Amino acid sequence: MTLLSAKNSLVLATTAVMALALAGCNKAEQNKAEGGASQPAATTSQKTLDKIKSSGEVVLGYRDSSIPFSYIAGTPNQPVGYAHDLQMKVVDALKKQLNMPNLKVRYNLVTSQTRIPLVQNGTVDLECGSTTNNTERQKQVDFSNGFFEIGTRLLTAKTSGINDFADLKGKTLVTTAGTTSERFIKKLNDDQKMGINIVSAKDHGESFLMLESGRAAAFMMDDVLLAGEKAKAKDPSKWVIVGTPQSYEIYGCMMRKGDTEFKKLVDDTLVATYASGEINQIYNKWFMSPIPPKNINMNFQMSDNLKDLLANPHDGAQPKTVAAAASNVATAVASASNAVASAAQPKA
């Protein structure tokens, strides 16, 4: 090798190292901006309780627009919601079990697409939002006892002429990327040759924006999330939740697979919250009272199926009372729709 070629090789190597370092810095800044971890994630072999004890903090995954489960209402990187309140009950249990009254809480933003990988690789210790427990996801993560039960339906304008899924033929439908609704409607569209133009938005807020702006004729998602988006609309009375529920799903908190000790703590905490009756106060706070940021009351009555789930907690993927789910879900959504439609306009 000549001296000139050696110099060239050295320059190239130095440039490559600098590029890698810069990329690492940029990635760290991106994580920080998203409420993510600036420290390296735990190795997947490390037990969650050991990780929390050694680091002095617990990392909670949160959503920014899953109203009223986990969302941002005003303060950046500070989630609120029904699922978040249950998450904080787990934090209280951690403080007691680990004898760490000053345990720090750090929040890490997740999306429908990133939530499972971030739990798997140890970046997030616990994610409680609006994540459906199903058999495919159970192969990747563990789920807590369920804390909510939903049906998947459609949100559309009252004047759209859409009353059920069959009316979507040839129309544009929006759903949220990385959700069970996205997978279901794509399969239904292919199997039945419905000719639906399916668009996947990054989150529920963007999905509703596409509907509200006329770029989509309907928005498919979990009924309660549709009710949340409808409640925060400029004019809630223009929108209606319709369609026969296409699936019945249970929400649970996610944690790393195989960590039985941490899962027991989470499950025991939820069971105690249900048994004490405190769950009713938390439910009423988020579904039967004005909620931030616009102080809209969803008036979403607790269904009989959810009451059954809370009375008989389990971490299974399917409701145990599927046969009765259709009428209960429809009644709850109709109640929420009518109440929101008649509500006064939210303050700016």
What pLDDT score was predicted for residue 294? 85
Higher pLDDT, 213 or 345: 213
Distance (Å, whole) CA 206 – CA 310:
32
- What average pLDDT is seen over the chain? 84
> Which phi and psi (to 5°) does residue 164 adopt?
-155, 180
What pLDDT score was predicted for residue 256? 98
Q: What are the tokens at 136?
A: 């495919």
Quickly state the pLDDT bin for 296 (edges 50, 70, 90).
confident
- Identify the CA nearest to 125 among candidates 264, 272, 316, 262: 262
Segment 274-284 shows an average pLDDT of 98
| AA identity, residue 78 | Q
What single DSSP character describes residue 168? G
Q: Contact, 71 vs 85, CB < 8 A?
A: no
Q: Is the pLDDT of residue 29 over 90?
A: no
Q: Is the pLDDT of residue 166 over 50?
A: yes
Question: Do 48-149+249-323 and 152-247 come out as alike in CATH topology?
Answer: yes
In this prediction, what percent of the chain has a pLDDT beyond 70?
A: 79
Task: For CA atoms 206, 207, 209, 210, give the dihedral sign.
Answer: positive
Segment 253-261 shows an average pLDDT of 98
E strand map for the chain: 57-62, 65-66, 70-72, 79-80, 104-109, 126-127, 141-143, 148-157, 172-176, 197-201, 218-222, 239-242, 248-251, 254-256, 290-291, 296-297
Quickly state the pLDDT bin for 23 (edges 50, 70, 90).
very low
SS3 content of the chain, % helix, strand, coil (to 5): 45, 20, 35
Quickly state the pLDDT bin for 44 (edges 50, 70, 90).
low
Higher pLDDT, 259 or 318: 259
What pLDDT score was predicted for residue 321? 59
Which residues are 297's β-sheet partners?
A: 290
Q: Could you tell me whether strands 65-66 and 126-127 are parallel, antiparallel, or unpaired per DSSP bridges?
A: unpaired
Q: Is the pLDDT of residue 15 over 50?
A: no
Higher pLDDT, 346 or 68: 68
Quickly state the pLDDT bin for 103 (edges 50, 70, 90).
very high
Q: Please report, for the chain, the start and end positions of each structural domain, with discontinuous segments joined by +.
A: 48-149+249-323, 152-247
Q: At what angle do helices 48-55 and 260-275 cross, to 10 degrees?
A: 90
What pLDDT score was predicted for residue 238? 96
Q: How does pLDDT run across 304-339, given as a tens digit for each residue?
A: 889 999 999 999 998 875 434 444 434 443 443 344
What pLDDT score was predicted for residue 231? 84
- Hey, what CATH topology would domain 48-149+249-323 get? D-Maltodextrin-Binding Protein; domain 2 (3.40.190)
- Identify the CA nearest to 173 among candidates 214, 240, 218, 215: 218
Quickly state the pLDDT bin for 46 (edges 50, 70, 90).
confident
Q: Which CATH number fits domain 152-247: 3.90.550.10, 3.40.190.10, 3.40.50.300, 2.60.40.10?
A: 3.40.190.10
Q: Please classify residue 190 by burial: count the beta carbons closer than 10 Å to its beta carbon, then call 0-12 exposed, 13-18 middle and 19+ buried.
A: exposed
In this prediction, what percent of the chain has a pLDDT beyond 90?
A: 71
Which residues are 107's β-sheet partners?
A: 60
Structure-token match 């090798």, residue found: 1
Q: Please classify residue 305 by burial: count the beta carbons closer than 10 Å to its beta carbon, then call 0-12 exposed, 13-18 middle and 19+ buried.
A: buried
Q: At what angle do helices 322-341 and 223-231 cross, to 10 degrees?
A: 0
Q: Contact, 297 vs 289, CB < 8 A?
A: yes
Residues 6+ apart with CB under 8 A from 105: 57, 58, 60, 91
Q: How does pLDDT run across 185-227, given as a tens digit for each residue?
A: 999 999 999 999 999 999 999 999 999 999 999 999 999 999 9
Structure-token match 């459609």, residue found: 154
Quickly state the pLDDT bin for 21 (edges 50, 70, 90).
very low
